[in-house]
Amino acid sequence: MWQTLAVGAVLFPGLFAACVRSLGSIAPAWSLKERIVLSGRLVSSVQATMATLSGVIVILSCKDVVHDRHWIAREYIWIAMSYMVYDIYVMYLCHWHKSQEQGLADRKHSLASVQSFLRREKLMVTHHLFIIIVLTPVAVHFRGELGDFFVGCIYTAELSTPFVSLGKILMQLKMQDSLLHKVNGVLILVTFFLCRILLFPFMYWTYGRQVGLPTYRVPFHIPFHCNVANALLIAPQLYWFTLICRKAIRLYSRPPGPERAR
């Protein structure tokens, strides 16, 4: 536990610092804010790839979805927790630099800048804190020795993150009208729907198949707190998926750049 937590606590800040420094050499004309924002997105993609691969390994290894165990399901939660703490700080850092650029923040970090960040990013911060404060104890202690398969399923929810990050990076590079950006938009929609929305019915279906229940009866067969946890997890995903769909409609319905300029 402590070794894994230490690895995560060093890995993500270390990667972030290395990216910021490297971008200073690769793109010296970029501002510190631009380098910080891009570095945060690159590190986010690295973590998402690690989580997805961990989840796939666990899912393929657990034939019994309730009782089979895999060490990655138990250990990666500490990597994820250290990433969530790191990510809250990087989100604040990005927010502070953007606010400074717009003349909306003090020259030094202050309580007011923290409050501004929490107001703007309250859903994402709440999501991260929920994982740290609620899901981590549940995944490590309260579930006992059951459900590594379902923990692996939750890890794969990160599959869409590299595509989301790539979309933001392309916008940062002024490539929002490129074919790559439009193709990436389709991949965001597909991966987000499969691994953050359809994932939950899939978990109910796999459990029902093992115990011989139709999917619609599974919620009445499992502990109530499992349904509550799933509801709390899927609620923000549905909200974010709605936002992604709205952005996709705007992206694919607008005319090409030169026509818009006319």
> What's this model's pTM, rounded to 2 decimal places?
0.85
Half-sphere exposure for 83 (CA within 13 Å, toward CB): 22
List of residues 6+ apart from 36 with CB closer than 8 A: 20, 90, 93, 94, 97
Would you give per-residue pLDDT tens digits along the chain (262 residues)?
Answer: 778 889 989 999 999 999 999 998 898 888 888 999 999 999 999 999 999 999 999 999 999 999 999 999 989 999 999 999 999 999 999 888 888 777 665 667 778 888 888 988 888 899 899 888 888 887 887 777 888 999 999 999 999 999 999 999 998 888 888 889 889 999 999 999 999 999 999 999 999 999 999 999 999 998 888 898 889 889 889 999 998 888 888 777 766 554 443 3
Cβ atoms within 10 Å, residue 93:
19
Q: Which amino acid is it at 177?
A: D
Angle (CA) 5-8-13 rounded to 5° is 135
Residues 6 or more apart whose CB falls under 8 angstroms from that of 204 comprise 215, 218, 219
Residue 258: what pLDDT? Answer: 47
pLDDT the model gives residue 214: 94
